[in-house]
Amino acid sequence: MTEFGIRVENLNFKWASGEPVIKDCSLQVPKGEFWMLLGTNGSGKSTLLRLIAGLLTPESGEIYVPPSIGFVFQNPDHQLVMPTVGADVAFGLVAEKLPIKAVRDRVEASLRAVNLQHLIQRPIYALSGGQKQRVAIAGALARNCEVLLLDEPTALLDPDSQLDLVASVRNLVKSRGITALWVTHRLDELNYGDGAFLLEKGCLIDTGDPQLMKAKMMDLEN
């Protein structure tokens, strides 16, 4: 029997204006797998991800996820709050009230996982866009997240950096057994997913093999 890291059942969400955004959406991501949430602009992808993360409250439906969730925004400047790389990753551990050595060990291990250990003292402002996204991911890893949600994290990166980041995240989640859901509208990123969901106008219209979803996405765009 498949164990799911993310399970959503009959989810509905409207803006305060009454406009429906997510309509009776159900999906399941197997534990330890890396799935893509695909759709055209305005399809509701980011809203659905925020609902799963608990950043928005659904009108109805159920969301089943473990308590330890990491969320990576499209723009890393929206979540990096401390002046240096090491301090920012450590900031997310404050609530755990760990000994200083334990914090240092977690920070170093998470930065090593994203190949930024050599930048632990680097000011955040001096980082590239790709490096900032890796710091955001390192922050989630430091908190030992079981689920990682990523909202178009390559949107502000150049093409080479885009594929480098998606490949790195896939390797990370696979090596650590993390369940990941990655929002995208870039078809080449689908090559790295174990599966994909296709969202259109707030409705989940298909689920399955990433290459099949790629073809259906191309049909939607044409």
Q: What is the pLDDT of residues 2-17, one digit of tens each?
A: 688 999 999 999 998 8
Hey, what are 198's tokens? 């296709």
From the CB of residue 59, how many other CB atoms can be counted at a distance below 10 Å? 12
Pairing status of strand 69-72 against strand 147-151: parallel
Average pLDDT estimate for 147-163: 86
Per-residue model confidence as pLDDT tens digits over 38-77? 988 889 999 999 999 999 999 999 999 998 899 998 888 8
Structural domain count of the chain: 2
Looking at residue 1, what is its pLDDT? 55
pLDDT at res. 126: 94
CATH number, position 17:
3.40.50.300
| Boundary-marking domain end, from 144, 175, 197 | 144
Residues 124 and 181 in one domain: no
**Average pLDDT rounded to a whole number, residues 185-204:** 92
Quote the strand ranges of the chain, DSSP E.
4-14, 20-30, 34-39, 60-64, 69-72, 147-151, 179-184, 195-200, 203-208
Secondary structure E strands in 45-140: 60-64, 69-72
**Residue 105 tokens, joined:** 């060990």
Residues 53 and 155 in one domain: yes
Q: What is the model's pTM?
A: 0.90
The range of the structural domain enclosing residue 191 comes to 1-66+146-222
Residues 158 and 94 in one domain: no
Looking at the fold, whether 45 and 81 belong to one and the same domain comes out as no
Same domain, 50 and 154: yes
